[in-house]
Structure formats: C-alpha cells, structure tokens
Amino acid sequence: MSLSVSELWSAMTAEAREYGRNEPVLASFYHASILNHTSFAGALSFHIAAKLDCDSVPAMLIRDVFNEAFASDDSIVNAAARDICAHFERDPACDHYGMPFLYFKGFQAIQAYRIAHWLWLQGRESLALFLQNRIASVFDVDIHPAAVIGSGVMVDHATGLVIGETAVVGNNVSMLHSVTLGGCGSGQGPRHPRICDGVLISAGAKVLGPIVVGDGAKIAAGSVVVSDVAAHSTVAGVPAKQVGALSAELPALNMDQNISDES
Amino acid sequence: MSLSVSELWSAMTAEAREYGRNEPVLASFYHASILNHTSFAGALSFHIAAKLDCDSVPAMLIRDVFNEAFASDDSIVNAAARDICAHFERDPACDHYGMPFLYFKGFQAIQAYRIAHWLWLQGRESLALFLQNRIASVFDVDIHPAAVIGSGVMVDHATGLVIGETAVVGNNVSMLHSVTLGGCGSGQGPRHPRICDGVLISAGAKVLGPIVVGDGAKIAAGSVVVSDVAAHSTVAGVPAKQVGALSAELPALNMDQNISDES
Amino acid sequence: MSLSVSELWSAMTAEAREYGRNEPVLASFYHASILNHTSFAGALSFHIAAKLDCDSVPAMLIRDVFNEAFASDDSIVNAAARDICAHFERDPACDHYGMPFLYFKGFQAIQAYRIAHWLWLQGRESLALFLQNRIASVFDVDIHPAAVIGSGVMVDHATGLVIGETAVVGNNVSMLHSVTLGGCGSGQGPRHPRICDGVLISAGAKVLGPIVVGDGAKIAAGSVVVSDVAAHSTVAGVPAKQVGALSAELPALNMDQNISDES
Amino acid sequence: MSLSVSELWSAMTAEAREYGRNEPVLASFYHASILNHTSFAGALSFHIAAKLDCDSVPAMLIRDVFNEAFASDDSIVNAAARDICAHFERDPACDHYGMPFLYFKGFQAIQAYRIAHWLWLQGRESLALFLQNRIASVFDVDIHPAAVIGSGVMVDHATGLVIGETAVVGNNVSMLHSVTLGGCGSGQGPRHPRICDGVLISAGAKVLGPIVVGDGAKIAAGSVVVSDVAAHSTVAGVPAKQVGALSAELPALNMDQNISDES
Amino acid sequence: MSLSVSELWSAMTAEAREYGRNEPVLASFYHASILNHTSFAGALSFHIAAKLDCDSVPAMLIRDVFNEAFASDDSIVNAAARDICAHFERDPACDHYGMPFLYFKGFQAIQAYRIAHWLWLQGRESLALFLQNRIASVFDVDIHPAAVIGSGVMVDHATGLVIGETAVVGNNVSMLHSVTLGGCGSGQGPRHPRICDGVLISAGAKVLGPIVVGDGAKIAAGSVVVSDVAAHSTVAGVPAKQVGALSAELPALNMDQNISDES
Amino acid sequence: MSLSVSELWSAMTAEAREYGRNEPVLASFYHASILNHTSFAGALSFHIAAKLDCDSVPAMLIRDVFNEAFASDDSIVNAAARDICAHFERDPACDHYGMPFLYFKGFQAIQAYRIAHWLWLQGRESLALFLQNRIASVFDVDIHPAAVIGSGVMVDHATGLVIGETAVVGNNVSMLHSVTLGGCGSGQGPRHPRICDGVLISAGAKVLGPIVVGDGAKIAAGSVVVSDVAAHSTVAGVPAKQVGALSAELPALNMDQNISDES
C-alpha cells in the first residue's frame, strides 16, 4: 500500500511541477525544495536542514550531518517515505504527497529527530541534544534523542508533542498534537511508555510512566493514561479507563478521535 | 460598542505616539508598525507580512497578497478591527488597542488565517497551505484554510490552537490556548464542530467531530466534548457533561473559565 | 545543595571545554555561548538576548536591558543559577549544568521573563509587554510580566506554558509543559492562582482562578483545578479532587507525574 | 531604437520564462524578481527594494517609497527602461534585457539614486541621505541625491563610481567603473562637472570641478580632467589634453575606451 | 574649532531628535543609532558593531571588543570625535554632525580600523585580521591593522581605499576614494609611505613605497607618487611631479582637488 | 616551491588549531571554516558558498554547484591551492596559509569565478551570470565568466578589479586592486587583453583592448596600457610607455609596484 522511495519521489516531483505551474508565487519554493534535487534523500536533507538553520550551526553544516546519517543507515530515508505515506493515507486533509514533506511540522520534526537519534547512537550526545533543542524551537516538538520511534508514524498538527528519553514507539502509530509520552520516577530502567504498533493517541492525551500500550489500542483525546492498555482496546478519561469493546481494527489508520458511543 | 475601523485607527495611532514618547527603545517599533502607515489596513498588511517573512516567500510578496485580499473583500479588515475590540473588551490584561495588533499571537494568527481562507476560496490552494504552515510555524496556531471563522473572535495566548478543515466558528467567540476543534471520521461531509455565536471555549478543551455547540455555551477548561452542547449551557469533564443551569449570558464576553460551583 | 553562582560558572566552563573538544561541530557554539564570557551574568545576557533578537529590537539593545537589570538587582542572576540547579537535580535526563542554559526553552523563557518583570516594576510596561511577546514567539511560553515567580523553578519541556497577570509562584516549584495558571473573573484583585513552595504541576494541568495551592502539593497531569489545594496533598481529575494521603515530601523535587495507586 | 516600457516588459518576461525553464536553480529567482509581477514598475520596486533591505528600514518600507515616487512621476520608470536599452545596445556582453535589471550593479544603483533624488526634491533630505548610504554600501556607487542625471545612462561594472552634489549628467551618457565627477572649491554655486549628452567617460577617469564636458566628447581611461572639454573631442592623460580630431559620433554608444592612434 | 566629545554628543542628539520628528520613516533609525545611548562611545560601539555583524562573530561580541578598547584607551573615542568634526568642517555636502557617524563609509571604516589596530597592539593578530576582512567586505576599505593613523582624518566616499602594513598617516589628513598607500619591496623596514599632517590626497592617487609626503602637501587626483613630496608643495601626474609654488595652507582643510592653473 | 593540496591542507589545519587556541573569539570561526571539514575541497566549497549565500539561491544550493564542479574537474581545486601559495610567497603581510582562504577578497573572488567559468563552459550561462553578480556584490570584483584565468594568481586587496569577457590571464600573474582588463570595440573576436605568465599589474592600471602583455612584463601603478607590452619590459604612464631596461625577473613574484628610477 505504501509507495517505495522512488515511487514516492516520482509522485512528489510530478506534483511539484504541476503546483509550480499553477501557483507562480510558489514556483521558486517548489523548485528549491523538490525539483532541484536528484533524489528524495537529497531533497529531504536540504529541506529539513534549511528549517533547522541557525547562526551557531548553519544549514550547510546540518545538511552534512544528515547526509552522513543517510549514507550510513538507509532505513532513515525509508522511514521518512513511510511516514509521508502514513499522512497521505490517514489524513483526509492531505491529498498530495508533497504536503507532509513541505508543510507538516510533525513530519519534519520526526525526520530531524531521526538524525538526532542516529547521532545519539554514535555517541555524539552533544550534537544530538543541540538538535533536540533546535527541533523544539522550530517545530514545537520535544523528542529526546534516545527515544526509539518506528516508521509509518504520523504526528498530526504536532505543536506540543513531548516524547521522553526511554519511550519506545512502534510502527504505524498516529499521534496528535499536545500528546505526551512522559516519565515517572528517576531509576535506571525505563521511565516512559512503550507504544506498540498501530496505536492511535488522540489530541492532548498524556501517557505517563513505564507502561505498555498494546497493539491497535486507542487512547481518547485528553486522557491521562497511567497504567497498561490492552491491545485493541479503547481507553478514555482522567485517569483513563477502558471504554467499549475490543476491536480488531488499527485505530491509527482511520484516525477517529472520537470515543465510542457507550462511553 | 465596537469601534469603527477609523475610530480604532485613530485610537491606535494616538497610543503609539504616546508609548513611543515614553519608551524610546520602542519608538522605532511603534513607527514602523503603526505610525508610518496611512490606514489600519496598510499597517495590518505590513505588520503581519513582516511576521510571516521567510526566504522562500519574502514579506514583500506576502504583503502583496494581503493587499490584494483587502482590496477585493473589505470584510477582512472589518473583522480584524472587531477582533481587536474583542480583546480590548474581554481581556482585563489588555488595556490599549495596540496590544492585540502588536503583541498577541492569537490575533495575528487569525488575521493571517483570513488571508489563507480568502486564497482558498479563490482556488489558490497551494498558497493557502503554504500560509497555513507559516502560521503554524510562527504563531503555533494551526488553522486549516478551509475553516470558516466569524468576527469579534478572541484567541487568548493561542499556543497550540488547532482548527480543522470543516470547522465553523461564529461571531464573538472566545477561545483559549490549546483548544482543538478536531475531526472524526473521514467521509465527505463535515468532520469538525460548528461553534455558534458567543461561545467560550476554555483552555485545553477538545471539541471533536461534526457536533454543534449552541449560542452562548461555555466549555470548561480541559473538557473533551464529543456531543452537541445546548445553547447557553455549560459543559465540563472528560467526556464533557452539562454542569449548572442555563444562563442567558454570553460567556465569551466575560471570559470566566471557571466552572460553576455546583459542578 | 544548590551551587553558588561562581561554583556553577566554574562547572559550566569546565563542561563547555570538555564538550567543545569532543564535538568539533559545536566548539564554536560552546565558545560563543559560554567560554567567551568572564561571568555567568555576562554569558546569560548574551545567550538569552541572542535568542530574543529581532529586527525591531536587535540583540545588542536587548542585552543592554539585561545588563541594566542584572546591575540593579543581583537576585535575578542568583535565581537563574538556582533554576539551573533545579533542572540538574530533578531531571534524570539533565546530566550537566550547561544543558538548561544552552538547550532548555523553559529555563531560557523564565530568565527572559525575569527581565520583563523587572521592567514592569520600573514602570516600563511597553517594553515589558514587547518582551512578553518575544518570549511567547521564541519559546512558546506566555508569562505576563506582572506575575511573580520565585527561584529554583523548573519548567520542563515548556511548550504551551501560560501564567497570568496576578499569578504568584513560590520557590522550588516544578511545572511541565502545557500548564496553565489561568484567570477567572475581571475584578480588581487577584484573578490567578498562588502556587506555594515545592509544588509539582504535571503536564497539561490547568489551575484556574484566585486559589491557593499549598506547599508541597502535587497536581496530576491533565487535571483542572478550580479550588484550593491543601499543602502536601495530591489532586487529580477534571475537576481535580484529592487522591491519596498527605505526604511530607516535596513532589517538585522528584518529579513523579504519576498519580498514586489508589486513584 | 529604444523599446517602450511595455515592449521591454514583454521582452523581459519572455526571457525570464525561457531562462527559468533552462536553469532550474534560478527558476525561483526569475519568478520572484520578474514573473510574479504585473508591470515593469512593480518588478523594479520589488527587486531594487529587496537589494536595499536592512534591519533599520526593511524592504517593504523602501518599496512603499519607490511606489510613491513612481506614482507621482512616471518619468522615473521611463528612464529606467531607457537605461536598460542603453546597456543592451552598447554592451557586447549584454545579450538580453533582463541582464541589467537582474545583475548589473550600475543599473540598479542608478535606479535607486533616482528615488533618492525624488526624495531630495520633495524636501525629504534625511531619507535621501539614508538611501545614498545604502546605495554606497550595497552597490559601491556613491551618488549625491542632489545630482541630476538624465536617461539612457549606462554605468558599466560600476564599482567606485562617485558623483558629487552639484554634478549634472545628460542623456545617453556611458560611464565605466571608478569614474569620479568630483568637486573643487566650497562656494555656493556648482562645484562639480556638467556632462552633456552622448559622452563616454572611460574607466577610472576623474572629472573635477565646475567644468563642462560637451556633447559627444570622449574621456579616455585614467584621465584627470580639470578644464572644459569641447564637444565631440577626445581627451586623455593626467592632466587630460585633447587627442585626435573632432568626431561626429557619440562615443557613449560604441563604448570604445581606447584612445586614438595619434595619442 | 573642533568640538569636545560631549559637545559633539549634544549636537548629535539634538540633530537626531529634530530629524526623527521630520522623517518618521527614520525615527526608529535615529533612536536605535543615537538616542537610545547615553554617550557618544556607547552609540559608536553599537552602530559600528551592528555594521560589522556576521554569523561567525555576531555584533554583540564585536561590541564587547569595542567597549574593551574604548575603556582601555580613551584616545580612540577622542579621535572619532575629531574625525567627525573634520568631515563637518571640510565637506560642503556635510551639514550636520550625524552625517559621518550615520552615513559615511569612510568614517565608519576608520573607526573600525582603530579597534583592529588596538587589537594588533595587544598581540591579538588573528582578531585584528578578521576585523580587517570585515571592514574590507562591509566598507570596501582595506587598512592593515598595523598601519598607524592620526586623528582629524577624513576619508571621503572611501570605496577602494587601501592602506598598507607599514604606512603612517598624521593628523588632519584628507583622503578621497580609491587612494592607495601601497608598498614596495619586501624587506624588514617600512615598505609604505609616511603621510605628514594636513596633507590632501585626491581621488585615485597612488602613493607607493617608503617615501615621505611632507606637512601640508597636496597630491592631485590620479597621481602616482613614487618619491618624497616636499612640505606645502603640490604634485601631480604619472609619475607625479611638483606643480605650482609652495603654499602655506593646509590643503586637507579646503579639499580643493584641482591642480593649480600653471599645471 | 608550491605545496601540494594535501600539504597545504595539513598546514592550514595546523594553523587553525593553533589560532583557535590563542583567540577564543574566533575558535568557532576556525572550526566552522576549516577544522570541521575533511578536505581542502570540502572547506573551500563551504567557505566560499557561505560568502555567496543569498535569499534567492541559498548557500546550500551554491555549495552543491561547487561540489559538482570540483568533482568533474580537479584542476579547479589545484588552482585554488596554487593561488594560496602565491599569496603566501609574494605578500609580505601574509604569513600563514589560512589568510588568503579566510580573509582575502581577491582569493575568494577568484575561486568563485572558477565555478562561474566552469558553469559557462557547461552552457549554464544564466547561473554563471548570476554568480558573476554575486561575486561583484560580495567581493567588489567583476570577472566575466567567459574570461580565462590561470593558476598561481594573486589579486591583492581586490576592490574594483574588472576582467572582461574575452580576457585571458596566464599563470603566476599578480594583480592589485582597481586593475581593469577592459574591452575595446564590439566585433566578434577578442576585445580584451591577453596577459602572459608572471606579469605584475600594479594598482589601478587599466589594460584595454585585444593587446598582448608578454611574459614577465610589469605595468606600473595607474598606467593606461593600450598597446602590446614586450616580455620582461616595464611600462608606465598614461598612456603607458616602456621605462627602464628589460629584466629577466618575474615581477609578479616580488610585487615591487615601484617604477624604475629612470622613469
């Protein structure tokens, strides 16, 4: 269902050509961001580095780090492509592939995090923390570089997202703005949640402590979750309690933030 | 009660002259933002375009789009004036007319949205989406350009506000930071709420799905609202339930975020 | 337990030398931000002013204001030092003193607020409001310059924090992102909460109206608090109710956002 | 021979479309500078104001001044068009109309001077002097705003050109880089030269004092001219003396910097 | 004849107030550059540092160096004041004291050189060379930091001025744009000229090698001087020869670039 | 005598480490410009692209073009290395290899020209002309991208240098600021001079028309040369005539701008 990186790149360049023709004010923007590049990876490192540009570490230097990461681990670019497809498939307001790439702070923040995470794994903690700060300043998204995040991830609207140091997020997860994967305690082990595949975490939900949210679970908007959530269940409330029956669906994929009628 | 555009402009220029005299560090700022201009519309296009400036689409180009919109539809400028009056009348911390114009991210974001919305109605969807992204980056407010928003609107503090594609907001509505008018489902019709006149939506409340919040209703802070709210009622909680009796007042106008004693 | 300003400065410069050696990409950043300065105060005014830089009021001018404030009231710099120590002691992810100074939006926003507050007390309200806007734009933190905030304060992650005009915050308080100390009513007296010493306010909690949150109280994540909270108690929920027994601890110091088992 | 403004604009937009197609790196540049505008005047005010942009007086404000000048005196735009044609006709290295507009510092400086001169005539001497400084900083060309300069003027390469307060330059004059029209004395009357129509002043020549350089005269490179120059004569040397016979040609039009064989 | 620093500062602030009232577009510029400061030295370090601002060494850092130099050697600020008076007295186009300070590249470059020279004397050669490059980039004036320059110096128009490593320039000297004090040979001793007091060096003149130009000498425009010039004599030509009789005047003070009739 | 690229790179990095230790204000600058890179070519593309950065074509895009050129033709990087050695050997004021690279506008302009020339040869004339304009704006040096320039070239001080479209410059040539290699006529063939190996062209000299300046010739400062110059001869004056006897030396290498005694 998801496009390959090269299929995605073909689709994005075709869109950019069409949109550039139709909106001359943005022709330049489409060219600089997409059409001037020969690959998805090249465009991605250019576009995200330009967003993170600052006097202390200019965009050119940041881009060098991105390219180094892309060259050493091609799963980073593959994950970015799957994240774009996730937006395209799940968000009714997203009707072309270029939208997350060009416009969505959540997508952009996650890709920058992937580089910070790669740096963290290389032992370059200072630069990873520097990037974390730039991401928080530019995108209003605060993800600790040690956190582990899968692919096919969609972070919609994104402002205020916080993901802590020992959090783990699986594949095909959808999160909305103002979601917190927060910590409890200060011991040596995990202090943050593990979110399994296909989970939907609705706007403003706080998931706190080293708990597990099972595959295909759904956390309603504004919930505060402080204990494990069973796979394929829906939880809601402060503190969150299970509502409704189990479901075989993956709620992350249809993005229904509502909580079921029987709540 | 609200000032006309020209009355407002007179008041703002008088204030700017006085404040410029009293605070020399800002004399330049008051001049560039207000006193150098011959009309409220001219100052508004200058000030908001300067905020949205970026390398890809510089302020001068953005201002041309603002001026084009103002020239074709003067309701946009009138709405901006009513929004300023709304802040002045409802916010005890706002004691001069220039404050929302100069300093309040919520006011500034709404005016930029009005241009994005005008572009959307003209069929210039790419540029509207570009502006949506700039607004989200600069003001931390994410409003889909297809959403419909009335006048006399106050968005206080603003960080984290999200308003989805099919949302409708009436006149004289007050919303605080971190409010979400979010979507449910992915069908063809409306997926987001309709907020009627005079409604107050307190900090962090999530209003989800194609529901109606009636005239003069009040939604308490932190509530998650997933079903219709009767006019002049107050709702609170996760999920939100009616609390207290009906009231004839317009809660948006007095901004009492509290929920009544009987809750 | 807390370091003196000069002990802190020694620790920070030693760290910066070490980190600069290990991460050449950031050598310049450590030098410009820390090592080029002869005192903690000099580095602080440089670093925060650089963050607040804008065309209308360039960093050099802002720094002059910072230096004027530091010279007239040395409690401002002392408070900054205690805030850094608060992060170091309470945040397991913070393992060197330079981190809050260099990277944490919450710390940076609070120090900028301290200058806006000093200006407010000097009667320079315009410039205080200008700074409030810059702080809100740059750090996504909106603190009215008239609010009163103690020292040893930690604001973790910070995005979306709102503190209103008549709020009072004591010493050794910890707050997380998206916390609101909001107002009710529009009379002459206090409209916002008073937060006593050692309180922990977890992520997304809204504390509304002229209530008192007693020493050592803990407010759970996502709570909406509309009435007084007893010292050393824990409250949770929408609206918040007391959960669990009283405790002699200061929850701000261990940052356990969880609510107790019996909730 | 010269194109009308509208013919020129048609030619420039056709070129920009073609060049934008052939060089994608610059597609954006051609769009922002030329194709996004509906008239030559609109593009001119945009492009030159963008060059003069500075923190103290941003491009948007400068553009407002340009547009005010263009609206009050359409000879300014006509002169700009004739200047472009002068470059196209006289410079073998200039093979399309967009080159002077987009790339030649001499053309850009002269157009900015025209606005400074208009301001001077309006009695707005401070802003005229401010612009003179910006022109000197950006284009390395120092023209006093009180100087009077005709149209069809070409200033090739331009670096180091200086034209003093009481200088007068006619139509169809060509000047190269490092030319000085300098002053002698400090009385009330003219202190600088009057250059008549069709004159060529070659690279590095200094023309000093209230002298007259007659129609169609030619001043050789590196000359220092301190007395009147007869029409259609050629002068060379330090101090300059007449060389060769009179000629009926306009040396400005063929740009032959050489001095005749008999020198 | 020359004003004291405090008289000059009074005159400049009075002018700035008047000009700011008359030209609102620049009110901000006059405030930021002059009126916001409490002393001439404070304004000078602010204004020149702002001109030299670059990503690698931001204006705030440069200003710290300026202030350090001013504090250690007050002759630097005194010389700046005398340079302003030199422009005011000698340049008919300069009719207020703020003009050199605000607008003249030659004045600004000389003041920045004075700091580079101070650094050179301190043994901080790297930073001196860095500043030399910034001065050359920003003002198109290339002065080696080891050169020695007096006070009451006027450099008019300035573009292209070059002063070499072992050059010495006395007091009350006037130089125009494109003047070179260049070197010959590569031995250990002086390789560049010594220019005595009251000398006028007209536009484009090249003075080369370790020669002496005596008090009150005048070098005509475009001259190439390769041997000593007697005091109070005038030289002209390529190579320069004495023209006219000796004169008791100081040609630097009346700025008559012309060469005498008998040439 | 000249270092290889790798020897040069070793020397430059050793210097940068030492200078960075001794001048903490510039530690960052040395790191970003030199030490962060793994090769001379990488540092060169970074440093020059950063200088040429502009909104329309950001540094990252320019650097991509540099890297493409370096990859396709390694003579470009070799020539840059030889140019640095030329400065080091010939300029008494240049005592370390990093100086031309970091600080000298002439060196930087020539390297940027080499890329513009490479683009011109590829048929990408628009981008070559765009770069020519950026070089002229940033470095005050105007070199037509079609001109042909050898290696071991030193352009000292550089402001005002102009080299026309059909000019040819050999190896080991030294030119000073304000030199012009200008054109005569408008035919199809060469219109500009050919400068052979080892020539010295002193400050402000104008060499005009399709003439030949033979190997090891020397052109005195301020000369205007309009006819061929014999190898190993010295010419001076306006117009230039031969002075002194032939010499076997290469005057470019000792940089003696003086003209011989018998002139």
Q: Which residues of B touch F55 (CB under 8 A)?
A: 55, 58
Q: What 3-state DSSP class applies to F200?
A: strand
Q: Which residues contact F182 (CB under 8 A, 6 or more apart)?
A: D176, D202, D203, D221, D257, F162, F164, F192, F206, F207, F208, F209
Nearest neighbour of C60 by CB, restricted to E28, E56, E60: E60
Beta strands F241-243 and F234-236, pairing class: antiparallel
| Rounded-to-integer distance, Cα A239 and Cα C259, Å | 9
Nearest CA in chain F to B55: F55
**Full-prediction pTM beyond 0.90?**
yes
Beta strands F224-225 and F218-219, pairing class: unpaired
Q: Which residues of B touch E35 (CB under 8 A)?
A: 24, 27
CATH topology of domain B1-140: serine acetyltransferase, domain 1 (1.10.3130)
What is the rounded end-to-end Cα distance, in angstroms, of chain A? 33
Note whether F50 contacts C: Cβ–Cβ < 8 A: no
- Distance from the Cα of E57 to chain A's closest Cα (Å) equals 9
Chains near F (3 or more Cβ pairs under 8 Å): A, B, C, D, E
User: Can you spell out the DSSP letters for A108-162?
Assistant: HHHHHHHHHHHHHHTT-HHHHHHHHHHHHHHHS-EE-TT-EE-SS-EEES-TT-E
Q: Which residues of C touch F32 (CB under 8 A)?
A: 28
Q: Which residues of F touch C24 (CB under 8 A)?
A: 31, 35-36
- Distance from the Cα of F96 to chain A's closest Cα (Å) equals 25
F53: tokens are 């950065």
Q: Which residues contact B107 (CB under 8 A, 6 or more apart)?
A: B83, B84, B87, B100, B101, B154, B155
Residue E177 DSSP label: T
Which range among A110-114, A206-210, B5-9, C244-248 shows the weakest confidence by mean pLDDT?
C244-248
Q: Which residues of E touch C58 (CB under 8 A)?
A: 32, 50, 59
The distance from CA D127 to its chain's CA centroid, rounded to whole angstroms, is: 20
Secondary-structure class of domain E147-263 per CATH: mainly beta
CATH architecture of E1-139: Orthogonal Bundle (1.10)
Chain C segment 2-21 residues within 8 A of B by beta carbon are: none
Long-range contacts of residues A11-20, Cβ cutoff 8 Å, at least 24 apart: A11/A97, A12/A40, A12/A43, A12/A97, A12/A98, A12/A101, A15/A96, A15/A97, A15/A98, A16/A98, A19/A96, A19/A98, A19/B126, A20/D27
* Contact (CB<8Å) C50/E60: yes
Q: What's the confidence (pLDDT) of residue E1?
A: 56
* Contact (CB<8Å) E46/C63: no
**pLDDT by residue (tens digit) across C183-208?**
987 667 899 999 999 999 999 999 99
Which amino acid, F23?
E
Note whether F25 contacts C: Cβ–Cβ < 8 A: yes
Q: Which among A33, A60, A124 is the top mutation candidate for probing chain F, defined by the most F β-carbons within 10 Å of its own β-carbon?
A: A60
Q: What's the confidence (pLDDT) of residue E257?
A: 66
Chain E segment 109-168 residues within 8 A of C by beta carbon are: none
Beta bridge partners of F207: F181, F225
Q: What's the confidence (pLDDT) of residue B1?
A: 56
Beta bridge partners of A233: none
Nearest CA in chain C to A131: C103
CA distance readout (Å), E71 to C77, D95, D179, E78: 25, 56, 41, 12
Q: Are the C-beta atoms of residues E220 and E235 closer than 8 Å to each other?
A: yes
By CB atoms closer than 10 A (0-12, 13-18, 19+), residue D95 is: exposed
| Rounded-to-integer distance, Cα D106 and Cα D100, Å | 8
Q: Which among A19, A89, A258 is the top mutation candidate for probing chain B, defined by the most B β-carbons within 10 Å of its own β-carbon?
A: A258
Note whether C50 contacts E: Cβ–Cβ < 8 A: yes
Residue B122 has φ and ψ, to the nearest 5°, of -80, 0
Average pLDDT, chain D: 92
C106: tokens are 């919450």
CA-closest candidate to residue C200, choices C258, C242, C148: C258
* Contact (CB<8Å) B49/D58: no
- Distance from the Cα of F221 to chain C's closest Cα (Å) equals 42
Nearest CA in chain E to D187: E92
Residue F116 DSSP label: H
| Rounded-to-integer distance, Cα F67 and Cα F45, Å | 7
The distance from CA E155 to its chain's CA centroid, rounded to whole angstroms, is: 5
Those residues of chain A that have pLDDT short of 70 are 1, 186-187, 248, 257-263
Q: Are the C-beta atoms of residues B133 and B152 closer than 8 Å to each other?
A: no
Q: Which residues of D touch B50 (CB under 8 A)?
A: 58, 60
Beta bridge partners of F168: F148, F194
CA distance readout (Å), D136 to D142, E27, E104: 5, 21, 9
* Contact (CB<8Å) C259/A129: no
Q: Each residue's pLDDT tens digit in chain E (263 positions)? A: 579 999 999 999 999 999 988 887 787 789 889 998 999 999 999 999 999 999 888 899 899 999 999 999 999 999 999 999 999 999 999 999 999 999 999 999 999 999 999 999 999 999 999 999 999 999 999 999 999 999 999 999 999 999 999 999 999 999 999 999 999 876 678 999 999 999 999 999 999 999 999 999 999 999 999 999 999 999 999 999 999 777 767 888 877 766 543 33
C79: tokens are 């408070």
CA-closest candidate to residue A140, choices B77, B230, E245, B142: B142
Q: Are the C-beta atoms of residues A212 and A168 closer than 8 Å to each other?
A: no
Count CB neighbours of B6 within 10 A.
11
CA distance readout (Å), F109 to B199, F81, F133, F160: 63, 14, 11, 12
Note whether C106 contacts B: Cβ–Cβ < 8 A: no
Q: Are the C-beta atoms of residues E223 and E238 closer than 8 Å to each other?
A: yes
Beta bridge partners of C148: C168
Nearest neighbour of F160 by CB, restricted to D29, D177, D258: D177
Nearest CA in chain B to A241: B238
| Rounded-to-integer distance, Cα C124 and Cα E175, Å | 46
Note whether C32 contacts F: Cβ–Cβ < 8 A: yes
| Rounded-to-integer distance, Cα F194 and Cα F215, Å | 10
Note whether D36 contacts B: Cβ–Cβ < 8 A: yes
Task: Give residue B245's pLDDT band: very low, low, confident or very high (50, 70, 90).
Answer: confident
Note whether C104 contacts E: Cβ–Cβ < 8 A: no
Our CA angle for F54, F57, F58, nearest 5°, is: 65
Q: Each residue's pLDDT tens digit in chain D (263 positions)? A: 579 999 999 999 999 999 988 887 787 789 889 998 999 999 999 999 999 999 888 899 899 999 999 999 999 999 999 999 999 999 999 999 999 999 999 999 999 999 999 999 999 999 999 999 999 999 999 999 999 999 999 999 999 999 999 999 999 999 999 999 999 876 678 999 999 999 999 999 999 999 999 999 999 999 999 999 999 999 999 999 999 777 767 888 877 766 543 33
In 3-state terms chain C splits into helix, strand, coil percentages (rounded to 5) of 45, 15, 40
CA atoms within 13 A on the CB side of B184: 17
Q: Are the C-beta atoms of residues A113 and A158 closer than 8 Å to each other?
A: no
Q: Which residue has the tokens 């900090």?
A: B203
Size of interface A-F (CB pairs under 8 A): 26
**pLDDT by residue (tens digit) across B19-28?**
988 887 787 7
Count CB neighbours of B38 within 10 A.
9
| Rounded-to-integer distance, Cα E161 and Cα A224, Å | 69
Q: Would the CATH topology of C1-139 be identical to that of C147-263?
A: no
Residue E43 region by backbone torsions, left for phi larger than 0, else alpha for psi between -120 and 50, else beta: alpha
Q: What 3-state DSSP class applies to B208?
A: strand
Nearest neighbour of A126 by CB, restricted to C23, C50, C177: C23
Kindly provide the b/e burial profile for residues B157-195, where b requires at least 16 CB atoms within 10 angstroms of the residue's own CB: bbbbbbbbbbbbbbbbbbbbbbbbbbbbbeeeebbbbbb
Task: Give residue F261's pLDDT band: very low, low, confident or very high (50, 70, 90).
Answer: very low
Is a pLDDT exceeding 50 seen at residue F260?
Answer: no
Q: What 3-state DSSP class applies to E149?
A: strand
Q: What's the confidence (pLDDT) of residue E152?
A: 97
Note whether B92 contacts C: Cβ–Cβ < 8 A: yes
Q: Which residues of C touch F25 (CB under 8 A)?
A: 31, 36
Nearest neighbour of E259 by CB, restricted to D137, D142, D226: D226
Q: Which residue has the tokens 């670096």?
A: D159
Chain B segment 177-236 residues within 8 A of D by beta carbon are: none
Q: Which among A13, A23, A28 is the top mutation candidate for probing chain D, defined by the most D β-carbons within 10 Å of its own β-carbon?
A: A28
Residue C160 region by backbone torsions, left for phi larger than 0, else alpha for psi between -120 and 50, else beta: left
Q: Which residues of E touch B35 (CB under 8 A)?
A: 24, 27
Q: Which residues of A touch E58 (CB under 8 A)?
A: 55
* Contact (CB<8Å) E60/C59: yes
Nearest neighbour of A157 by CB, restricted to B55, B162, B222: B162
Q: Which residues of E touch C33 (CB under 8 A)?
A: none
Residue F96 DSSP label: S
* Contact (CB<8Å) F58/A49: no
Peptide bond into B251 cis (omega under 30): no
**pLDDT by residue (tens digit) across C94-148?**
999 999 999 999 999 999 999 999 999 999 999 999 999 999 999 999 999 999 9
Q: What's the confidence (pLDDT) of residue C244?
A: 76
CA-based R_g, chain E, Å: 18
- Average pLDDT rounded to a whole number, residues F108-136: 97
- Distance from the Cα of B212 to chain A's closest Cα (Å) equals 15
Q: Is the CA virtual torsion D63, D66, D72, D74 positive or negative?
A: negative
The distance from CA D86 to its chain's CA centroid, rounded to whole angstroms, is: 10
| Rounded-to-integer distance, Cα E151 and Cα D75, Å | 45
Q: What's the confidence (pLDDT) of residue D117?
A: 98
Nearest CA in chain C to D53: C55
Which amino acid, D211?
I
Which amino acid, D247?
S
Q: Which among C55, C60, C61 is the top mutation candidate for probing chain D, defined by the most D β-carbons within 10 Å of its own β-carbon?
A: C55
User: Can you spell out the DSSP letters for F21-80?
Assistant: HH-HHHHHHHIIIIIT-SSHHHHHHHHHHHHH--SSS-HHHHHHHHHHHHHH-THHHHHH
Domain boundaries, chain A: 1-139, 147-263
Count CB neighbours of F176 within 10 A.
27
**pLDDT by residue (tens digit) across B107-123?**
999 999 999 999 999 99
* Contact (CB<8Å) A182/C203: yes
